[in-house]
Structure 1
Amino acid sequence: MEGPQTAYVETIITTLEDLANGTYLKRAADIDPRSRVHYKALAADVRGSPKLTETVFLEGLGEFLARRTAETNGGQPVIDVTGLPKILTAHVMLICLVGGYQVHAFELRNKVNHARPELSLYFALPAGGFDYPALTRDPAVLTSIRQLVHVRRVMWTTAALSTIGVICFASLLLVDTNNPVLAAVGLTANVIGIAGGVLQALTTRTGR
């Protein structure tokens, strides 16, 4: 959540209860008895479990997920962004990528049946009527992650080697100007540091 609104929780529960009673979007719906039982059970589970309706502010999402992971003895939570606004989805995706969490979204394979929208709901869908992809495993996302990690690794390597080179050069000047070991280490570190900087620039420019 980007704000303290919690009306969506009651909306979900009320909708599930309506479905259990054979109505959807404030009108009678053709819902089979088996599905009604499922919707009734879901509504009861959500209403009776405070943790399922806990409001989490966006800036605290990382800590919340880490806490939930610890509570499940290392089990990884699955984050569902179905229906979130695009900007909020992007924020959640970035937080989850950093934390190593899976992000999923429910996708219908066919368009919504506007005449009978209840037939596009989960329990009414035929086998293979929907997809539930892991967005963080999407090829485009994975490519972006590899680029980010590669650039970050080059930056840290360049900084570390440059620091070593500066220390060795300073030691050479202050301690022993004729020490061949310090000279060799300093020269090597500086050369690698410069090469790393060039590679970093090319990587950033080409996106590889």
Structure 2
Amino acid sequence: MSAALIFVCSNDVGPYLNALAYLSDKHNISDFKFVFVTGAMIEGPQTSFVETIVLALEDLASGTYEKRCVEIDARTAGQYATLAANLKSNSRSTEVVSLDELPDLLAKQVAETGRAKLFVDVTGLPKILMARVLLVCLVGGFHVYAFELRHRVDREFPERSLYFAMPPGAFDYPPLARDLAVHNSVRQLINVRRVLWITAMVSLVGVVCFATLLLIDSSNTVLAVVGLAANIIGIASGALQALATRSGP
């Protein structure tokens, strides 16, 4: 059975309602876990916020949203009610982890569901935190997604920006590895100085080894040329890696 990790940081229930509805409708997911990241220098809601999400789903099932009566057909109301019931019945629906503990959480979830059946949703995260979570997930080989509206939320009629009310093409749910803005944010998290420092150390070791080879057999021209070429390639590759990290694609 597929499962989804829903990362929480925003206090706006709309993004979570859309992610939950989409994953439930298109991928038949009923196993949701809300992940609250600590130590990220960005303050988010408490775990009790899940109750707010459930309450919003129950309100939609009864025909209200943000304290307003809204028109919802019986089928959609039933889907909202089912989502709310699934979340309420799950006693392990929340996880509080630090970024350092995130790989362990992902490994634990994979052991339960399998890597191919796990959706990591970061719809409710700000860009910089989204990039940090994405970086951890990319290293672990996980796909990360976010529900993206192709228009601004209608503040007068916010229910029109909910998944079940939108026409096809009004939203997207892409893997974020292809998102340029997030990709650039990930690059900013990579320490270019560390890359340069490692390159310098490797190059220094190479130079020492090269000098040692010359002392041992200074008359061997082929050996000298090969050693020199290896050092040049090593230094150049390190510099190119640092430049690529800084400039992006």
TM-score by length of 2: 0.63
For residue 167 of structure 1, the aligned residue among 205, 209, 213 is: 209
- The answer to whether 1:55 aligns with 2:96 is yes
Residue 26 of structure 2: aligned partner: none
- RCO comparison, higher one (Cα < 8 Å, 6+): 2
When structure 1 is superposed on structure 2, of 31-40 and 196-205 the one drifting more is 196-205
When structure 1 is superposed on structure 2, of 27-36 and 109-118 the one drifting more is 109-118
Residue 147 of structure 2: aligned partner: 106
What is the alpha-carbon root mean square deviation over aligned residues?
A: 3.9
**Alpha-carbon distance, 1:91 to partner:** 2.5
- The answer to whether 1:70 aligns with 2:111 is yes
CA contact (8 A) 1:168 1:183 kept: yes
Q: Based on CA coordinates, which of the two structures has the bigger radius of gyration?
A: 1
Residue 179 of structure 2: aligned partner: 138
Alpha-carbon distance in 1 for matches of 2:234, 2:76? 64
Q: Letter of the 1:74 partner, please give it.
A: R
Specify which structure has the higher proportion of strand.
Answer: 2
Specify which structure has the higher proportion of helix.
Answer: 1
TM-score by length of 1: 0.73
**Alpha-carbon distance, 1:133 to partner:** 2.1
Alpha-carbon distance in 1 for matches of 2:157, 2:240? 58
Secondary structure of 1:75's aligned partner? helix
Alpha-carbon distance in 1 for matches of 2:167, 2:246? 47
Secondary structure of 1:30's aligned partner? coil
Give the aligned length.
206
Q: Letter of the 2:211 partner, please give it.
A: F
CA contact (8 A) 1:76 1:101 kept: no
Q: Which runs of 5+ in 1 are unaligned?
A: none
